[in-house]
Amino acid sequence: MRQDGPMRIAVTGSTGLIGTALTRSLRAEGHDVLRLVRRPASAADEVTWHPQEGHVETAGLVGCEAVVHLAGAGVGDRRWTEAYKRELRDSRVRGTRTLATALATLENPPHTLLLGTAIGYYGDTGNRAVDESAGPGDGFLADLCQDWEAAARPATDAGIRTVSARTGLVVARGGGAWGRLFPLFRAGLGGRLGTGRQYWSHIALHDHVAALRFLLNHADLSGPVNLTAPHPATNREVTAAMGRVLHRPTPFAVPAPALRFALGEFAGDVLGSQRVLPRRLLDAGFRFAFPDVTAAIRAAL
C-alpha cells in the first residue's frame, strides 16, 4: 500500500549529512517539513525538543503524518572513550525514547516513525551475507543498536508504524566516514585498512534518501529494513575503486595495530566485516540507482 500526496513530516537531525539531503528532497516534492531543533524555535518550520531531558514541544507536531528520526552523535567522530560511548548511547537511546513517548501522547499521532539506525546491529558477519532475518551480533555497536530500536517501543505500542532503517556506510563527499576518505585518496594517501578482506556495506547518498522516501510512502513496510547497496564490497575493492575513479595510486596499507592505536575500540568495527543485503527493500520493489561501489563513488563526485 502506497501513501500518495504531500505530507507534513517532522525530521530530527535535519542539519546532518542525511537530514540535509532528505529535507531538501522532501521540500522539492512539495512536502511540508518541520525540523526538530535543540534550542528555542526561531522559524515557522522549527519545533523545539530536548532529547536528553525528555521534552518535546508536542503542540508543534500536531498534524504530522510522519516523523523521521536521524539525530545522534557521530559514531566515527571521536575516539571511543568511555565518556564518548556513553554519549553515543544516550544520544540515541534517550533521544529515541523521548521522541517515541512524545508521539504516543498525541491525540492523533503520526502514522509513521522512521528511525535511522545502523547495520552495526549485526556485528561482525565475516564473509557471511545477512539480511533482516538475521539476529543481533556482539559488541558495543550491536548492543547499542538493539537498545536504540527497542527505545521506539512506546510509538509501536501506540499503533504507529515504526521502521528501523539500518544504514550502512553512506558514500558522500560532504560528510560522514566516506567524506573523510575522499581528501586522503585525492592526495594519493589512500590505501586498504588491515587485510582489506573485510566487507564494507555501503549506500550512495542519493539511494539512501530515495530509500527513506520509499519507506515513508509504503505503509505496508515496518520493522527492520537494511539501507545498503545490493553488492557489498570489500575494503580492498573499495580502495581499488577509489583509486580508479580519482585517478590516484593507492600504495599504502594501514596495518591493524596502527588503526587500533589511532582509533581505540572503534578500530574493531573498522576492521570488522559486515556483508549486509537489502532484502526487504528489493522484495518491495525498490531499485538502486547506484548499486555497486564504483557507481556510488562516481555519484558522490
DSSP per position, 76-124: TSS---HHHHHHHHHHHHHHHHHHHHHHHHSSS--SEEEEEEEGGGG--
CB 175 within 8 A of CB 13: no
pLDDT tens-digit profile of 47-65?
999 998 999 999 999 999 9
Residue range 92-107: mean pLDDT, rounded: 96
Is the per-residue pLDDT at 259 higher than 90? no
Q: How far is CA 97 from each of CA 14, 55, 101, 105, 290, rounded to the nearest angstrom?
A: 18, 10, 6, 12, 34
Across the chain, mean pLDDT equals 92
pLDDT tens-digit profile of 10-30?
999 999 999 999 999 999 999
CB 268 within 8 A of CB 208: no
Set of cell numbers at residue 12: 530530527
